[in-house]
Amino acid sequence: MNIQSKLPKSDVTIFTVMSKLANEYQAINLGQGFPDFDCDENLRQLVTKHLNDGKNQYCPMAGLYDLRYSISQKMNNSYDTNINPDTQICVTAGATQALFTAIAAFVHSGDEVIIIEPAYDSYTPSILLAGGIPKPYRLVYPDYSIDWNEFEKLVSPRTKMIIINTPHNPTGTILKAADLEALENIVADKDIIVLSDEVYEHLIYDNEAHQSVLRFPKLFEQSLAVYSFGKTFHSTGWKMGYCVGPANLITEFKNVHQWNVFSVNSFVQYALAEHLQDPSTYNQLPAFFQKKRDFLAESLNDTPLLPKLSQGTYFQLYNYEAVSDLDDIDFAKYLTKEIGVAAIPLSPFYTDPPKDKVIRLCFAKKETTLAAAAERLKKL
């Protein structure tokens, strides 16, 4: 059989590669972004309750109304907006499915999509599968900031979508209000959709406020924002997320969503609808994760690794140029095999990788895990 691949250049993700290597060498895994601690006991009890109550059948296509209502209240309280639970929210099987659905719904063959690199690795394959053309804007170490005058030069009559990610994975940087205002001016009066990946919305530090597209009314009219319960509630394996946007865009989003997954996990939706009613479940996250960020940074003070302090996400970058001349992929493999700590290199997040000697470490771990990893890294 002659099979013509739609993604002939696609390979196994770097997360899979490094986690497999970590398991093989019994390394402490600070690579793939998942916590090694469990979600809130109250949420676990709610999930168990609704499972035992027989909440096992299909939910409405856009998501359980009670959950959409809880989401709308959360967004309204967080971003001073007025989200309609009937028409402006769709619950999804994780954030990656939401991103894929948004791209599939709006990107046609030959459309250009501007992405910001280093970029989460699902963006480009999703664009290619839709027949679109990725156009990368490269962030530069060490500040990874956007020059919006240069960025605007990528915009053309064929630009259909711009994908932003704040807080940003993998760099740990955040967009400020001035960044969103610049983007709002760039897309004004153009048929361009902004797809805003905001899965780390509550993991933001040093008393900064998350600048969601929901805070900018004109920009929001052209935007879809994607969120993750897995990132917020330490339950990445549940694959639960949602998309928020103006009604006309969510209508098109749901047109694709219904033929993709139709609806998602039922009893977890019932549990999340209740759990979200207490804002402390997510408002305490900045302090919780900043403590872990600072613990890892302090634990690695005696190593030659040079940190870039994370502003958001649960990732921190480290420059290793004082340690090795290896490229980042080979250095990450060396760390895993010889030092016993798995990290993620940054080059797989680029179309045309720079030569920066930078790795990403995940600090969404117990302090005992971070301390053990730091002891091993002191061997460098």
pLDDT digits (tens, 9 = 90+) for 317-360: 999 999 999 999 999 999 999 999 999 999 999 999 999 999 99
29/103 same-domain check: no
- Asked if residue 99 belongs to a domain, the reply is yes
**Where does the pLDDT of residue 214 fall: very low under 50, low under 70, confident under 90, or very high at 90 and above?**
very high
CATH code, 312: 3.90.1150.10
Phi–psi pair at 316, nearest 5 degrees:
-135, 135
Number of structural domains in the chain: 2
CATH code, 135: 3.40.640.10
212/115 same-domain check: yes
Residue span of the structural domain in which 182 resides: 59-278
156/114 same-domain check: yes
Distance of CA 262 to the CA centre of its chain: 22
pLDDT attached to residue 222: 98
Query: What single letter denotes the amino acid at residue 201?
Result: E
- Asked if residue 132 belongs to a domain, the reply is yes
Residue range 169-197: average pLDDT? 98
Instruction: Say if residues 169 and 208 touch (Cβ distance below 8 Å).
Output: no
188/117 same-domain check: yes
Domain boundary among 227, 262, 278: 278
Terminal C-alpha separation, the chain: 50
35/18 same-domain check: yes
Domain boundary among 278, 299, 318: 278
pLDDT attached to residue 22: 92
pLDDT attached to residue 13: 87
- Asked if residue 216 belongs to a domain, the reply is yes
32 pLDDT exceeds 90?
A: no
Enumerate the β-bridge partners of residue 344.
360
68/146 same-domain check: yes
pLDDT attached to residue 50: 97
- Asked if residue 51 belongs to a domain, the reply is no
Q: What is the pLDDT of residues 224-274, one digit of tens each?
A: 999 999 999 999 999 999 999 999 999 999 999 999 999 999 999 999 999
Cα(263)–Cα(358) distance, rounded to whole angstroms? 40
Predicted TM-score of the model (pTM): 0.97
Phi–psi pair at 76, nearest 5 degrees:
-65, -40
* CA dihedral sign, ordered 218, 286, 178, 229: negative
Q: Which 3-state string (H, E, C) describes the chain?
A: CCCCCCCCCCCCCHHHHHHHHHHHHCCEECCCCCCCCCCCHHHHHHHHHHHHCCCCCCCCCCCCHHHHHHHHHHHHHHHCCCCCCCCCEEEECCHHHHHHHHHHHHCCCCCEEEEEECCCCCHHHHHHHCCCEEEEEECCCCCCCCCHHHHHCCCCCCEEEEEEECCCCCCCCCCCHHHHHHHHHHHCCCCCEEEEECCCCCCECCCCCCCCHHHCHHHHCCEEEEEEHHHHCCCHHHCCEEEECCHHHHHHHHHHHHHHCCCCCHHHHHHHHHHCCCCHHHHCHHHHHHHHHHHHHHHCCCCCCEEECCCECCEEEEECCCCCCCCHHHHHHHHHHHHCEECEECHHHCCCCCCCCEEEEECCCCHHHHHHHHHHHCCC
pLDDT attached to residue 3: 86
Token readout for 357 is 């000697």
35/64 same-domain check: no
136/261 same-domain check: yes
- Asked if residue 53 belongs to a domain, the reply is no
Which of 266, 321, 300, 354 is closest to 65 using CA atoms?
A: 266
- Asked if residue 295 belongs to a domain, the reply is yes
Antiparallel, parallel or unpaired: β 241-244 and 89-92: antiparallel
Spell out the residues 6+ positions from residue 33 whose beta carbon is closer than 8 angstroms to its own: 15, 169, 236, 313, 314, 315, 362, 364
103/174 same-domain check: yes
- Asked if residue 46 belongs to a domain, the reply is no
217/169 same-domain check: yes
Q: What is the pLDDT of residues 98-132, one digit of tens each?
A: 999 999 999 999 999 999 999 999 999 999 999 99
- Asked if residue 315 belongs to a domain, the reply is yes
pLDDT attached to residue 11: 76
228/244 same-domain check: yes
The CA-atom distances, in angstroms, between 265 and each of 62, 93, 244 are 12, 8, 18
140/287 same-domain check: no
Domain boundary among 232, 248, 278: 278
